[in-house]
Amino acid sequence: MVGLGMAVTIAISFGLVVAVQPLVFISAPLAGVTIGWYANHKSFRWRPRWRLFANAGFAGAVTGLSLALMYVGLRLLFIYADSGYRPEPMGGQFECSNGPECTYVRMIEDPDNAQALLDEGITDVDSYTSFVWRTSWEWTLQLTGFTIIGAFVPAAWRAWKPAPSDEEIEAAMAATG
Between CA 97 and CA 112 the distance in angstroms is: 23
Between CA 85 and CA 69 the distance in angstroms is: 27
Between CA 11 and CA 24 the distance in angstroms is: 6
Amino acid at 108: I
**pTM of the prediction?**
0.83
From the list 64, 60, 27, 51, the residue with the least C-alpha distance to 158 is 51
Between CA 54 and CA 100 the distance in angstroms is: 40
Is the model's pLDDT at 46 over the cut of 70? Answer: no
Q: What are the sequence ranges of the domains in the chain? A: 2-176
What is the average pLDDT value for the chain, to the nearest integer? 90
Tens-digit pLDDT profile for residues 120-145: 999 999 999 999 999 999 999 999 99
**C-alpha to C-alpha distances, 115 to 22, 69, 112, 118, nearest whole angstrom:** 22, 29, 5, 5
**C-alpha to C-alpha distances, 76 to 69, 81, 132, 137, nearest whole angstrom:** 10, 8, 8, 11
Tens-digit pLDDT profile for residues 85-125: 988 888 889 999 999 999 999 999 999 999 999 999 999 99
The alpha carbon of 131 is separated from its chain's Cα centroid by a whole number of angstroms, namely 19
